Copies of this chain bind each other. A is one copy, B any other.
Amino acid sequence: MGRDVEVPETVVRRLPIYVRALAQLEAEGIKTISSLELGRFIGVTAAQIRKDLSYFGEFGKQGRGYEVSHLLREVRRILGLTRVWPMVVVGAGRLGQAIASYDGFKPRGFEVVAVFDNDPAKIGQPVGHLVVRDVDELPAIVRALGVKIGIVAVPAAEAQKVANLMVDAGIRAVLNYAPTALHVPEGIRLEDVDPVAILQSMTYYLVSSGDHDPVVAEPSGAAAAGGDSAPEL
């Protein structure tokens, strides 16, 4: 499988973008694509595409580019996406509910199989096609179903405790939605989803390009429901 050399993490992080792009191209009926076109589509250079893929073998044909379906299948295989990965979610608040009900997981290789909370008012309530379970049941369910992926959707103050519980139960990859730095033992994968952090890196560029109004009042109640302070637009 060409895994003699360690693949840089930045390359691994780009592979899902390739999968997304190739699936889109396949759906549009495109059969072959050059590294130049694929790079333009994704926003990287042709050289980067060729270099990234070279870690895993030979996928293009001299002067013919890549066969879209074949490359898609191969990259999916490399990423372990030839199966559906069961996941558990801890936290059945608004965010946890949105995650558990999200219909974009299944087509891309994932499925939420259980949602947990410690709030008696939430336990037993339906969420998507599941019911919220007591977080005390997590270890048994994770082991019984062989779940390796856990999603943390609790407030920041409870997130580390939940991550510990997951890891102790056998979870090997943690996706953390809580806006706090979690710590996991070596060998456990941990990734944060923090849209506000992304926004904060974008404002750097808005500010440094002078691309903002120098005098801006703090927005308050604009377009608010029923607020009579809403400006006339």
- Chain A contacts to B: CB under 8 angstroms: 3, 12-13, 15-17, 19-21, 24, 41-43, 78-81, 83-87, 94-95, 98, 101-102, 104-105, 108-111, 113-114, 126, 129-131, 133, 137, 140-141, 144-146, 148-149, 156, 172-173, 175, 179-181, 187, 189, 191, 193-209, 211-213, 216, 218-219, 221-227, 231, 233
Q: Which of B12, B42, B195, B209 sits near A181, CB closer than 8 Å?
A: B42
Q: What residues of B have a CB within 8 angstroms of the CB of A42 in the complex?
A: 181
Q: Is the CB of A202 within 8 A of B189?
A: yes
Q: Which of B85, B133, B227 sits near A199, CB closer than 8 Å?
A: B85
Q: Which of B102, B200, B219 sits near A19, CB closer than 8 Å?
A: B200
A sample of 10 more A-B contacts (CB under 8 A), given A85-B199, A104-B196, A111-B219, is A12-B204, A20-B197, A24-B156, A86-B222, A130-B225, A172-B211, A175-B198, A191-B201, A193-B193, A193-B195
Top-5 shortest CB links A-B: A80-B207, A16-B200, A16-B197, A80-B203, A173-B202
Q: Is the CB of A149 within 8 A of B21?
A: no
Given contacts A79-B201, A201-B15, contact A196 B141 (CB under 8 A): no
Q: What residues of B have a CB within 8 angstroms of the CB of A109 in the complex?
A: 196, 199-200, 203
> Would you list 15 pairs from A and B whose C-beta atoms are within 8 A, ordered by A residue?
A3-B208, A12-B205, A15-B200, A16-B196, A16-B201, A80-B208, A94-B102, A130-B225, A145-B219, A145-B231, A146-B216, A149-B203, A173-B202, A173-B203, A191-B198
Q: What residues of B have a CB within 8 angstroms of the CB of A187 in the complex?
A: 209
Query: Interface of chain A, helix or strand or loop or mixed?
Result: mixed
Q: What residues of B have a CB within 8 angstroms of the CB of A108 in the complex?
A: 179, 196, 200
A203 nearest CB neighbor, chain B only: B80
Q: What residues of B have a CB within 8 angstroms of the CB of A224 in the complex?
A: 129-130
A9 nearest CB neighbor, chain B only: B201
